[in-house]
């Protein structure tokens, strides 16, 4: 009788099953739904409808712009913080780092609600009335607040790994502080920048909870769209999801996210 051998490969089976049933099959289902009509016949109707509808296209553009602004603002705030923390010799720097990451441990809905209430309160003040209708501003603010830790952490860990002697070598070779920053620090923290962008850009295109709660339901992003369609029209919903998937794929491709292993990991934590 042949005794089945237990090898390390056997350990992969649970994940393989998960992968098949929760990643590959749903993906195929989405593709199937996207290119069929209500009577389950193959059709490009959804495709044509999507790309001929200006509201849908503008939603995609709006989503991209919101995500882009969020990412840039996050990067601008997070980079100096990570840089200073990583290079400081402070013994208690992890406390400061924790303060930045701490919001992650508080329920997301609660945080967004708190921001909404804060804005409501502020907009009653004289001179700040404009806040009540600044839906896009509030959405981006909420996104930045929400995703900032996801930008700081990968940046910080990557910068921590940069050998200090490289900064010394750069100065030794005659580079000024600015030159060292541009030619040593930035290139070497690129993996962190890339994973930070991936961690912020993609979720902020789809996180409609923020846009709903802070944008007075006036800001529609692509994620909201998908959610709504899956209430009535699965076929169109699948098409939007597929378009989003392609947008994400292409943008990751251009940012070089598939090149090295480190970036594919999404985060360097």
Partner 1 sequence: MAEHIIELQDVTKYYDDNLVIDHVSFYVNRGEFITFLGPSGCGKTTTLRMIAGFDLPTSGKILLHGEDISRLPPNKRPVNTVFQRYALFPHLNVYENIAFGLKCKRVLNTYQNEKGATYQKKERLSKKEIGEKVQKALALVDLEGFEKRSISTLSGGQQQRVAIARAIVNEPEILLLDEPLGALDLKMRKEMQLELKEMHRRLGITFIYVTHDQEEALTMSDTIVVMSDGMVQQIGTPTKIYNEPANTFVADFIGESNIMNGTVVGNRKVKFCGKTFDCLDDFELNEPVDVVVRPEDIQMCAPEDGTLVGEVISVVFKGIHYEITAQVGKYELVINSTESREVGKSIGMKIAPDGIHLMKPKYTTNVFDGVITKHNAVRFAEGEFQCDVTQLYPGSHLDDEEYLITAEGEKIDLTDVEVKVEVGLHDIEISDDADAGGTTGRIISIIYKGDHYRLIVRTEKEEEDFVFATDDLWNENDLVSVIIPPEKIKLTLKHTEEKKR
Q: By the criterion CB under 8 A, which residues form the site for partner 1?
A: 163, 165-166, 168-176, 179, 183-184, 187-188, 190
Judged by beta carbon, residue 190 or residue 247, the one nearer partner 1 is 190
Q: What is the CA radius of gyration of the chain?
A: 23
H helix intervals, the chain: 13-19, 25-34, 45-52, 54-87, 93-101, 108-123, 135-161, 164-172, 177-180, 186-188, 190-206, 208-214, 222-232, 234-254, 261-264
Q: What are phi and psi of 153, to 5 degrees?
A: -60, -55
Q: Give me the least distance between CB of 168 and partner 1, in Å please.
A: 5
Judged by beta carbon, residue 110 or residue 163, the one nearer partner 1 is 163
Q: Give me the least distance between CB of 72 and partner 1, in Å please.
A: 23
Q: Give me the least distance between CB of 176 and partner 1, in Å please.
A: 6
Which residues is 42 bridged to in the sheet? 36
Q: For residue 2, give the 3-state DSSP assignment.
A: coil
Length of the chain: 269
Judged by beta carbon, residue 96 or residue 175, the one nearer partner 1 is 175
Q: What are phi and psi of 36, to 5 degrees?
A: -130, 160
Return d(Cα 230, Cα 220) in angstroms, integer.
15
Judged by beta carbon, residue 233 or residue 262, the one nearer partner 1 is 262
What single-letter DSSP state applies at residue 108? H
Number of neighbouring beta carbons within 10 Å of residue 30: 17
Q: Give me the least distance between CB of 75 and partner 1, in Å please.
A: 19
Q: How wide is the angle at C-alpha 173 spanned by C-alphas 167 and 174, nearest 5°?
A: 95
Judged by beta carbon, residue 49 or residue 93, the one nearer partner 1 is 93
Judged by beta carbon, residue 110 or residue 178, the one nearer partner 1 is 178
Return d(Cα 18, Cα 28) in angstroms, integer.
15
Q: Give me the least distance between CB of 171 and partner 1, in Å please.
A: 4
Q: Give me the least distance between CB of 136 and partner 1, in Å please.
A: 37
């Amino acid at each position: 009788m042949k005794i089945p051998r237990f090898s390390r490969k056997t350990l992969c089976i649970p994940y393989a099953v998960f992968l098949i049933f929760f990643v590959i099959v749903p993906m195929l289902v989405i593709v199937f739904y996207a290119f069929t009509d209500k009577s389950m016949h193959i059709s490009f109707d959804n495709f044509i409808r999507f790309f001929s509808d200006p509201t849908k296209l503008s939603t995609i553009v709006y989503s991209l712009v919101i995500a882009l602004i969020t990412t840039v603002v996050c990067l601008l705030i997070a980079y100096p913080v990570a840089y200073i923390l990583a290079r400081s010799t402070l013994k208690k720097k992890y406390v400061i780092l924790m303060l930045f990451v701490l919001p992650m441990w508080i329920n997301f809905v609660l945080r967004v609600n708190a921001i909404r209430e804060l804005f409501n309160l502020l907009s009653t003040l004289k001179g700040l009335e404009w806040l009540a209708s600044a839906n896009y501003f509030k959405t981006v603010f909420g996104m930045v607040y929400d995703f900032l830790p996801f930008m700081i952490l990968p940046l910080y860990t990557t910068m921590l790994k940069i050998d200090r002697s490289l900064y010394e070598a750069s100065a030794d070779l005659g580079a000024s502080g600015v030159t060292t920053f541009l030619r040593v620090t930035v290139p070497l923290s690129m993996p962190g920048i890339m994973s930070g962008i991936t961690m912020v850009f993609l979720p902020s295109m789809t996180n409609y909870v923020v846009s709903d709660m802070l944008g007075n339901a006036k800001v529609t992003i692509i994620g909201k769209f998908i959610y709504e369609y899956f209430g009535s029209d699965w076929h169109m919903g699948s098409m939007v999801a597929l378009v989003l998937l392609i947008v994400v794929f292409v943008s990751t491709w251009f940012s070089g996210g598939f090149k090295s292993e480190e970036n594919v990991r999404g985060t360097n934590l």
